[in-house]
Amino acid sequence: MAIALGIQPPSAAVQYLQAAPLALVLGAFLVIPLAAIVVVSFWTYDGVMPAPGFVLDNYRLLLGSRGFWLAAANTLKFAALTWMITGILGFALSYYLAFFIRSGAARLVLLIACTIPFWTSNIIRMIAWVPLLGREGLINQALMNIGVVAHPIDRLLYSDFAVVLAYVQLYTLFMLGPLLNAMARIEPELLEAAIDCGASQWRVVREVVAPLSRTGFAVGSVLVLTLVMGDFITLRVMSGGQSGAIGLIIYNEVGLVQYPDAAAAAVVLLAAVLMIVGAVLRFVDIRGEI
Amino acid sequence: MTSKTTNPETTGDGNSLDRRILLKGAGAAAGGLALGSGAITGFPLVWAQNVKDVVLRQFGTGISAQPAIMDKAQKDLGFRVEMAGLDSNAIIQRAITQPDSYDIADIEFWIAKKVFVAGNMQPIDTAKIKLYDKIVPLFTTGKLTSDSKVAQGTPPHTVGYMAGPTSRAFAKEQTKWATILPLLYNADTLGVRPDLFKHGDVMSWADMLSADAKGKAAIVNIPNIGIMDVAMVLESAGLATYVDKGNMTTDEMDKTFDHLGKFKRDGQFRAFWQTFQESVNLMAAGETVIQSMFSEAITAVRVQGVPCRAQPMKEGYRAWGSGLGLSANLKGLPLDCAYEYLNWCLDGWVGARLGRQGYYSAILETTKANMTADEWGYWYEGKPAAGDILSPTGQKIDAAGGKRDGGSFSERMGHLACWNAVMDNDRYLLRKWNEFVSA
């Protein structure tokens, strides 16, 4: 932009100065705390309190415990399921919003409607699932009244199904946003040209819209995957505490002042998330396409 | 100077406190406070003027962090105590990692076991607590009466005293230096829906494993507390034995989790709840009929018009207690004020107020003096109510003829199986718990 307008980019010193505030904030509130977590992950635990030191026990115990691998498998399972469902939903919804809603105002209203789950607090939202999905909830009552089932379906609430349902309700927006942004930048003429050349609508979606919204999908994927992998509240409440996640392990350990164990789990979780994000970014070069 | 310094609530019942005794020590520490202004009750004017800008920051469970208590404290004491309520996980973090963020910590005794070792809190000089010798012996010796047995777990007296004013080691016996001043406590048991789960007036913890509780039972998902409820259940069912349920060996833990995992796989449990609100919702919505439950959650279910009771169990109760402790950073005038506040908390007004919510207080005499005879009979003596029993906010809790679940104070607190605890093997416990939740 600057170059196109014929303005010289500022000197290196000025550029560093411009970047300095953000660098300072990130340094103070991200890099230093993260470094502290890494340091503490090597501390020892004297039976009551953490104590400074350098031991690999925390990692050895973590990676050697069955609980950790079960939780990790759980975390990956939920991440994959949520990613898949929000991906499909997000793509369909943003496709509809981008190409079928002509009026900008209508599009805005519909987009705002997608944020409704966030209008209330996490706690209220979680509680509200009980009268809907519970044993004596609306859905079970309705199913029993019309004679579909004789007994309430327990699996609607406090189950893997409930967890994925809550994730999808919450995180579809994070997939939808970037996808819509990407699709909104596709020239409508491209689609018209494809149709004029005899492409079916399905083929237009597959060969024009999908490739051009790759960046949005990548950004949405990073958001959804990191949100699900770091979550423990939604998982705990919707599974009724009957399902584990690495985040939950960390929470429990912090609760009994076992900071070194919690820090080690946090470092491992961070590494896993970074690897997954790295894999997504390998698939799409976000910087090149933004 | 017209600030009101008398204490109307405690006059006329024979319990009005003479604060001058305390003030002498306090005045000396504060440096040159004029004493002897002639008031028999209430503070000398100079004191009132000095403390009016003092603000003590207290944090702890939501139970004692009530605006009404804050206002009453300010009115009686002349300075402000700001109170914040947090969950137990946040409480322990704050007590240990942010000692500068509070002056007074309202914590449970098992949390004190962790916090005082960290050295962020100072012991309380019990010589400055006027009524200290009136405290229920449960907190000083672990025994309610001289012939009762000390319950398992972490009984308050084992973490109630430090060896010295700067020591980081707990004393085995009562010393002059207390960790926290007991404020409120109770005997918890399982909560039951009497309309949906009929097993008689007195049940066994083992009833949680009965066939009609299948898919309708829940346990608290706070590892060190949930494990004790589980141990009560398994021991009552004859499936396991423990030397000390509140301090298990790794072998005992392995056996416990083997059983627990099997019951989880068989679908005995509906949920493992972590917050007060979750436990209320489970019970009120009929998702569970028997579960771990704290006493105030049972009241919250009843307020919704749903029957729920703190089920008396033949094997006894799981007790917990909390109290007030002082931050290590507290010194000078604020420290004197903090001692004033601690003494005020034992005056009986706070005890009576919390008593109307079902909690027991550390000194029975002053609490009794601040309750009506009917209230005292209902809450402490297990007698049928003569009239309506009201909560502190005026909601009707019980009608005439109603009786408290589990009977009198001595029947409940004299029948303890264990105290909330921190185990020596808590690191191993957590690993097993995390594995159990994920499996």
Measured distance between the N- and C-terminal CA atoms of chain A, rounded to whole angstroms: 14
Q: At residue B260, does pLDDT exceed 80?
A: yes
The Cα B90–Cα B195 span in angstroms is: 36
Q: Phi, psi at residue B310, to the nearest 5°? A: -80, 100
Residue B384 forms part of a structural domain = no
Q: Would B173 be classed as within a structural domain? A: yes
* Contact of B274 with B225, CB cutoff 8 Å: no
CB contact under 8 A, A49 and B118: yes
Q: Does B8 touch chain A (CB under 8 A)?
A: no
pLDDT band, very low/low/confident/very high, at B37 (cuts 50, 70, 90):
very low
Structure tokens of A197? 């050349």
Does B276 score more than 90 pLDDT?
A: no
Q: Could you give the CA distance from residue B218 to residue B225 in angstroms, rounded to a whole number?
A: 13
Using the Cβ of B271 and the Cβ atoms of chain A, whether some distance falls under 8 Å is answered with: yes
Locate tokens 């066994």: which residue? B204
Specify the range with the lowest mean pLDDT, choosing from A203-207, B61-65, B137-141, B261-265: B61-65
Number of domains composing chain B: 2
Give domain status of residue B365, yes or no.
yes
Average pLDDT over residues B320-327: 95
Q: Does B435 touch chain A (CB under 8 A)?
A: yes
Q: Which pLDDT score, from 0 to 100, does residue B119 have?
A: 87
CB-based contact A61 B221, cutoff 8 Å: no
Residues B32, B148: one domain? yes
Does the beta-carbon distance from A241 to B215 stay under 8 Å?
A: no
Round to whole Å and give the CA distance between A248 and A236.
8
- The torsion defined by the Cα of B42, B43, B49 and B51, in degrees rounded to 10, comes to -100
Contact residues, chain B, for A134 at CB < 8 Å: 285-287
Phi, psi of A34 (to 5 degrees): -65, -45
Fold of A66-289: MetI-like fold (1.10.3720)
Interface of A with B in 239-258 (CB under 8 A): 240-245, 248-249, 251-258
**Residue B197 counted as domain residue:** yes
Q: Which of B193, B220, B431, B432 to mutate to test the interface with A (most CBs of A within 10 A)?
A: B431
Are residues B429 and B312 both part of a single domain? yes
**Whether residue B363 sits in one domain with residue B299:** no
In the predicted model, is pLDDT for residue B12 greater than 60? no
**What's residue B208's pLDDT?**
96
User: From the candidates A154, A257, A268, A269, which should be mutated to test the interface with B, based on the most B CB atoms within 10 A?
Assistant: A257
B74 min Cα distance to partner chain A (Å)? 33
What single-letter amino acid sits at A188?
Answer: P
Does B83 or A288 have the greater pLDDT score? B83
Of the pLDDT bands very low, low, confident and very high (cuts 50, 70, 90), residue A165 is very high
Phi-psi label, residue B390: left if phi above 0, alpha if psi -120 to 50, beta otherwise: beta
Q: What is the pLDDT of residue B43?
A: 56
CB within 8 Å of A235: residues ≥ 6 apart: A78, A163, A243, A245, A247, A248
Mean pLDDT for the stretch of residues A29-34: 96
What are the structure tokens assigned to B200, written together? 């008689």
Q: B311: which residues sit within 8 A by CB, 6+ positions away?
A: B189, B190, B191, B192, B203, B290, B405
CA distance B123 to B180: 7
- Whether residue A70 is predicted with pLDDT greater than 60 in this model: the reply is yes
Per the CB < 8 Å rule, is A248 touching B435?
no
- Chain A residue numbers touching B158 (CB-CB < 8 A): none
Chain mean position to CA B89: 16
Same domain, B220 and B284: yes
Q: What confidence tens digit (pLDDT) does each residue in B107-143 have? A: 999 999 889 988 889 999 999 999 999 999 999 999 9
Secondary structure class of A149 (helix, strand, coil): coil
Residues B105 and B61 in one domain: yes
Residues of A in contact with B434 (CB under 8 A): 65, 67-68, 71, 244, 248-249, 252
The pLDDT-based confidence of A275 (bands split at 50, 70, 90) is: very high
Q: How confident is the model at residue A5 (pLDDT cuts 50, 70, 90)?
A: low
Highest-pLDDT range among A80-84, A247-251, B63-67: A80-84
Element (H, E) at A172: helix A160-184
Residues B70, B21, single domain; the answer is: yes
CA atoms within 13 A on the CB side of A15: 5
What percent of chain A is modeled with pLDDT above 70?
A: 96
Provide mean pLDDT across the span A224-236: 92
Nearest CA in chain B to A158: B271
Q: What is the mean pLDDT of residues B260-280?
A: 92
Question: In the prediction, which pLDDT does A288 show?
Answer: 59
- In the prediction, which pLDDT does A257 show? 87
Which residue is listed with tokens 């019970």?
B283
> Taking CB atoms and an 8 Å limit, are B287 and A135 in contact across chains?
yes
d(C-alpha A140, C-alpha B239), whole Å: 36
When pLDDT is cut at 50, 70 and 90, the band that residue B330 belongs to is very high
Q: What does the pLDDT look like over A120-134, one tens digit per residue?
A: 888 788 778 888 998
pLDDT of residue B69 exceeding 70, the answer is: yes
Mean pLDDT within B69-81: 94
Q: Are residues B211 and B77 in the same domain?
A: no
Whether residue B168 contacts residue B116, with contact meaning beta carbons closer than 8 Å, is answered with: yes
| pLDDT interval class at A4 (50, 70, 90) | low
- The CATH number for B168's domain is 3.40.190.10
Q: CA–CA separation, B311 vs B411, rounded Å?
A: 13
B93 lies within 8 A of chain A by CB: yes
- Asked if the model's pLDDT at residue B2 lies above 50, the reply is no
Provide CB contacts within 8 A for B247, sequence distance 6+.
Answer: B152, B153, B154, B421, B423, B424, B425
**Inter-chain touch A244–B221, beta carbons under 8 Å:** no
> In this model, does residue A178 exceed pLDDT 80?
yes
CB pair distance less than 8 Å for A67 and B93: no
Under 8 Å CB-to-CB from B331, ≥6 apart: which residues? none
Contacts of B270 in chain A (CB under 8 A): 154, 158, 240
Q: B136 and chain A: CB distance < 8 Å anywhere?
A: no
Check whether B8 has a pLDDT greater than 50. Answer: no
pLDDT of residue B344: 96
Q: A65, B114: Cβ pair inside 8 Å?
A: no
Instruction: Judge whether residue B32 has pLDDT over 80.
Output: no
Compute the average pLDDT of residues B81-103: 89
Residue B395 lies in a domain: no
- Whether B179 has a pLDDT exceeding 50, the answer reads yes
8 Å CB contact of B221 and A123:
no
Mean pLDDT of B371-376: 96
d(CA B181, CA B106): 9
Parent domain of B327: 8-179+320-369
Please determine, for residue B10, whether its predicted confidence score (pLDDT) is greater than 70.
no
* Paired sense of beta strands B181-192 and B290-293, if any: antiparallel
pLDDT at A289: 56
Model's pTM, two decimal places?
A: 0.82
Is B400 a domain residue?
no
- Provide the 10 A C-beta neighbour count for residue B335: 21
Window from B73-77, B100-104, B130-134, B390-394 with minimum mean pLDDT:
B390-394
Same domain (yes/no): B70, B167: yes
Query: pLDDT category, A104, cuts 50, 70, 90?
Result: confident
Around A50, how many Cα atoms within 13 Å sit in the side-chain half-sphere? 27
Average pLDDT over residues A264-272: 95
Do B232 and B348 sit in the same domain of this protein?
no
Looking at the fold, whether B64 and B21 belong to one and the same domain comes out as yes
Q: Is residue B74 domain-resident?
A: yes
pLDDT given at position B7:
38
One domain, residues B41 and B165: yes
Same domain (yes/no): B360, B235: no
Q: Is A67 on the interface with B (CB under 8 A)?
A: yes
| Contacts of A206-214 spanning 24+ positions with Cβ under 8 A | A209/A95, A209/A99, A209/A183, A210/A91, A212/A182, A212/A183, A212/A185, A212/A186, A213/A91, A213/A94, A213/A179, A213/A182, A213/A183, A213/A186, A214/A182, A214/A284, A214/A289
Instruction: Flag the least confident range among A38-47, A236-245, B43-52, B243-252.
Output: B43-52
DSSP B134: G
Of the pLDDT bands very low, low, confident and very high (cuts 50, 70, 90), residue B394 is confident
